[in-house]
Amino acid sequence: MFDSFYEATTTIFNQSIQAWKESGKKVVGYTCSYVPAEIFFAADILPVRIRGIETEGMDIGDAYFGPFICSFPKCILQLAGKGKYRFLDGAIITPGCDAMRRLDECWRKAGEDYQGIVPPFFYYFDVPHKTLPHGMKWFQEEIRYLIDFVQKHFGLSISDEALRKAIALYNQGRQMLRELEEIRTRADVPITGTEAFAVTVAGTVMPRDVYTEKLGRLLESLKTRPPVSAGKKRLMVIGSISDDIEIVELIEKNPNALVVAENLCFGVRYEGNLVAETGDPVMAMAESYLGECTCPRMFGKYPERLEILKEKIAAAAIDGVIMQNIRFCDLHGSEHGLLERDLEKAGIPCLKIEREYGPLTDTGRMQMRIQAFLERISK
């Protein structure tokens, strides 16, 4: 049941993407959860989240980015330079943070030295930092510009009706992910955190109709699956980009630990937000994608993010929160300091871990800190 989700989550060019390409259809990658994937699905183009797994070495990433920057965009550039993303017919770069904004410049520059690594459709999709009326109007315009560019580049038409159908399909998957999240809040949890995270990440790289069908069958199977939560501490993992299941696996290698919730850049934090299925589809996507403010890149919304987190912690009966962020991630690194202060004050134990993105090279150090944290919350 989980094999297809694991395969999609742990490989860059997974079987679903291969099958899509073999059918002669286009694939476009995007780097940030603020890009409405529905636009591409409505155009019969496969949208896939660009990731940095399978990175070996960092000679290209270091050459164009330098040493003092988050390793996630460096891993993406490294993979692009090695030709791992040549299957993309297009790529969209978004300023989730300054490091990701620079990926646009560095990828284009590296393309002068490594021929063929810049996809034919290479687009910078801007996202405002505020949800005030002028920011929402700006974001709607950005979505319309993106739709226009896609139509012109690929020679197709994206109708409002096609957008609404794509929104409805994506909402179906979102409802299922929310159901999965609810199942994990129960006293008897039938799925490990590693399995659940693999299922969630797979949704960002598989054709949505295929994914939704598989997710429906998984939810049905969980009704009769025995619980795995007995005697374990219930943990939540939060923080920056994390699309690699290894960090959750590392936590759950401890026999008394179970991850029952996440609040990560990849995951239900974004995938669980519904989009209105009536009215202007562009306005509906803008209000949903920008309006939730779940990322610390959004100005003035910390109190809202704290309250959302507290509600999830209470719903899942969390014993402790593990905060992870990639080294040099200023956004999450700074906000974790505030969250640790406020959650600890509310009686919720927290552990902060700073790490490099990519292969877990310092697992010993992290495991030691996780074990010490588990000892603390077991007293």
Q: What is the pLDDT of residues 172-204, one digit of tens each?
A: 999 999 999 999 999 999 999 999 999 999 999
* Residue 287 backbone dihedrals phi, psi, to 5 degrees: -65, -35
In this structure, the number of other CB atoms found within 10 A of the CB of residue 271 comes to: 20
pLDDT digits (tens, 9 = 90+) for 100-116: 999 999 999 999 999 99
pLDDT digits (tens, 9 = 90+) for 219-246: 999 999 999 999 999 999 999 888 889 9
pTM of the model: 0.94
pLDDT at position 359 is 62
Which stretches does DSSP call E strand in the chain? 27-30, 46-49, 90-93, 121-124, 233-239, 257-263, 320-326, 350-355
Residue 95's pLDDT band (boundaries 50, 70, 90)?
A: very high
Cα angle for residues 176, 51, 154 (degrees, 5° grid): 85
pLDDT at position 357 is 85
State what percent of residues in the chain have pLDDT above 70: 98
Residue 66's pLDDT band (boundaries 50, 70, 90)?
A: confident
Check: CB of residue 144 under 8 Å from CB of residue 125. Answer: no
Mean pLDDT (whole number) for 340-351: 97
Q: Using the Cα atoms of residue 22, residue 26, residue 32 and residue 37 in order, give the sign of their dihedral.
A: negative
Mean pLDDT (whole number) for 347-365: 86
Mean pLDDT (whole number) for 113-125: 96
Residue 272's pLDDT band (boundaries 50, 70, 90)?
A: low
State what percent of residues in the chain have pLDDT above 90: 86
Mean pLDDT (whole number) for 256-280: 88
Residue 267's pLDDT band (boundaries 50, 70, 90)?
A: confident
Torsion angle of C-alpha atoms 174, 175, 176, 177, degrees rounded to 10: 50
Give the single-character DSSP code of 50: -
Cα–Cα distance, 258 to 256 (Å, whole number): 7
Contacts with 123 (C-beta within 8 Å, 6 or more apart), sequence order = 90, 91, 92, 93, 146, 149
Q: Helix %, strand %, coil % for the chain, to 5? A: 50, 10, 35
pLDDT at residue 292 greater than cutoff 90: no
pLDDT at position 271 is 67
Query: Which pair of structure tokens corresponds to residue 86?
Result: 């040549």
Mean pLDDT (whole number) for 138-144: 97
Angle 15-22/3-10 helices, nearest 10 degrees?
A: 80
Mean pLDDT (whole number) for 40-44: 97
